[in-house]
Copies of this chain bind each other. A is one copy, B any other.
Amino acid sequence: MNENSIEIVFEPFGKKGQFKRGITILDAARSLGVEITSICGGLGVCGKCKVRVIAQPGDINIITSTEKKLLTKEEIENGYRLACLTRVFSNIKVYVPERSRITHQRLQVEGLEITVKTDPMIKKVYLELSPPRLESVSADDLMLKYALRSLGFSEADFDYEVIKDLPELLRQSRWKVSVVLWNGNIISVEQGNTVERCFGFACDVGSTKLAGYLVDLNTGKTVAVTSRINPQIQYGDDIISRISYVTEKGFSGLKDLQRSVISAINNMIDEVCNKLSIHPEEIYELSFVGNTAMQLFLLGIYPKYLAYSPYQPPRKSALIVKSRELGIKANKCARCFIMPVIGGFVGGDQVAVIISTQIHKSEEIIMEMDIGTNTEIALGNKDKLMSVSCASGPAFEGMHIKYGMRASDGAIESISIDPATFDVKFKVIGNVAPVGLCGSALIDALAEMLRAGIIDWSGAFNKELSKFTKRLRKRNNQWEFVIAWKDESGINEDIVITQNDIREIQKAKAAIRTGAEILMRKMGVKEDNISSLLIAGAFGNYINPESARTIGMYPELPIEKYKFVGNAAGTGARLVLISKDMRKEAEDVSQKVEYLELAAEHDFQKVYVDSLYLPFRDLSRYPITVEHLKKFNYIIRQ
């Protein structure tokens, strides 16, 4: 041990190791296999990697302004720091509290499975050629082309990169090769018979979350899935703030966004490839779906005009780009299929949802919502389909919520409150002591508090009730309601929901409700006309539909009409990878679906304000809900 190395002990695991002076606690933990949670991936944004450091002054860097913002005064006094922002210069001990530990991630990325014929753009075939002889000299390219022709590939052209290595490869492999074709182009030639190894990668590029799927292109089956936080959140939580970042910083800002998402994508590719002992060179096609701006960032296209009226997107059609042009890890001639979009703020992810739910072919009128940081809603049937985008924000991902977290072990996922006693019951993912609240619990909380009269229709706490329950209280100058007491929780703290948290959820739900409302008005559709409301998105699956209806996040329908369709965007991304027909359908959908620009709607602001109410300002639109609430303590203040 030399003077440049220091020792860090991680408690309560008792794991320790030697590190270079100046390492961050997060990096040290990772190298020891001590898993510390981090939504933002070590960017100093999410504030989730809190650890308690036992150290002398000078052992670690002094507290940063970011940490001052993300830690409470109490936490700072108790020695809490963010692991990603704390550098270590001397031997220290670090205590990792329960809520900062990573547990097994519950993913909802499998989505709904629809049946399509596996007929990808990529075909891989094995050829045994006869070596050329002096009497029958041809050309390396022609020998391959003729052999392919006999297999029915009539017009095969070579990618320049492939033909460069062809002569050597054919001879080294003794004229036994596997050929990969993309839409008739020969994009790879490999030694021997490797037709069994033919992969694609589909990716749903969300504003907050990336979901990646490794697909076996021979079978059409998904063989591995993974997800990441979109590291672009360091440049802004939502689309508009990221566009602002680019317009302020110019092309270097655009490069920042592009580079960060591509590095996360490459990271996911590495992970799924390692998991299955696949080489990224064996990935021959990739598909990317995301909202319009996310796709532009991925492509490095200047998104400026998306932010200015009339908000016209640069592209609507699908785009094919070589992976090497984007710097994406895959076969050097792999193609990236970038989904066509519907409008400036309804992107390829929505096209993906529509083709996987097939609502563009439905006789009945269907509403569909893909809930995320940006929520897209479509409404209509085979005759007319209209779509809109709502900036719902990242609150449901746990961002900007005091005890918010993603849906992983330790997250409270559902809540019920006894309206008589105000007792709280909750369910925790992984059946462990709770460490925070995930999105579905937040919606439950609002619905249950409304039902119990703890909050009123404006979302304000009914402070009177603090006389009857200790759960409703004022702390640090803010009202809050205790969901889990310190002794029940895994973090040695009360888990609460604050007035601010309620406001964040209200804003999110109002954004969604506004989109749905304006869409219904435009289409002349009433609640009665809607045959079902499909809820897409990993998150949507966990929402209790009754709670969502109670707070007015969804238009009011009979409960059986709310249907979950999983991460339909991810499913759509996989469909275009395994089916040429689906790719055609995607192009059709992008042309056919009408795009509604909320910003152009004069009543937008009014509808939004109405939608902030719980469930809605016009209660006549929620008769079932009002009836139900009346059974409890609901205070109608109209």
Contact = CB atoms under 8 A, between A and B. Distances in A.
A309 B134 contact: yes
A272 interface: no
A302 B343 contact: no
Contact of A141 (B142, B316, B322): B316
A305 interface: yes
A157 B320 CA distance: 9
A631 interface: no
A167 B134 contact: no
A314 B141 contact: yes
A304 B165 CA distance: 12
Interface in A378-393: none
Contacts of A133: 310
Which among A139, A309, A313 has the highest number of chain B CB atoms within 10 Å? A139
A300 interface: yes
A179 to B, nearest CB: 15
B140 A312 contact: yes
Contact of A140 (B142, B299, B315): B315
Given A132-B310, A158-B319, A315-B158, A167 B137 contact: no
A160 interface: yes
Contact of A317 (B141, B171, B302, B315): B141
Contacts of A316: 138-139, 141-142
Nearest to A140: B314
A636 interface: no
Which among A163, A171, A300, A343 has the highest number of chain B CB atoms within 10 Å? A163
A302 B167 CA distance: 8
A27 to B, nearest CB: 36
B168 A302 contact: yes
A137 B302 contact: no
B315 A139 contact: yes
A341 interface: yes
Interface string A302-337: 101100011111111101111001000000000000
Given A139-B314, A167-B301, A160 B319 contact: yes
Interface in A569-621: 595, 597, 600
A166 interface: yes
Contacts of A171: 305
A164 interface: yes
A302 B322 CA distance: 24
A590 to B, nearest CB: 9
Interface residues of A, number: 46
A341 to B, nearest CB: 7
Given A160-B319, A166-B314, A319-B158, A344 B145 contact: no
A315 B144 CA distance: 10
B300 A134 contact: no
A224 to B, nearest CB: 28
B142 A304 contact: no
Contacts of A163: 299, 301, 314-315, 319
Contact of A164 (B145, B299, B313): B299
B325 A167 contact: no
Contacts of A309: 134
B310 A137 contact: yes
Contacts of A314: 139-141, 163, 166-167
B312 A132 contact: yes
6 contacts: A137-B312, A139-B315, A160-B320, A164-B301, A167-B302, A167-B314
Interface of A: 132-135, 137-142, 145, 157-158, 160, 163-164, 166-168, 171, 299-302, 304-305, 309-317, 319-322, 325, 341, 343-344, 595, 597, 600
Q: Which 9 pairs across A and B sit closest by C-beta, in order of nearness?
A: A139-B316, A134-B310, A141-B315, A167-B314, A132-B312, A140-B314, A160-B321, A134-B600, A139-B313
Given A133-B310, A167-B302, 15 more contacts: A134-B309, A134-B310, A134-B600, A137-B344, A137-B597, A138-B316, A139-B315, A157-B320, A158-B315, A158-B317, A160-B325, A163-B315, A164-B299, A167-B314, A168-B304
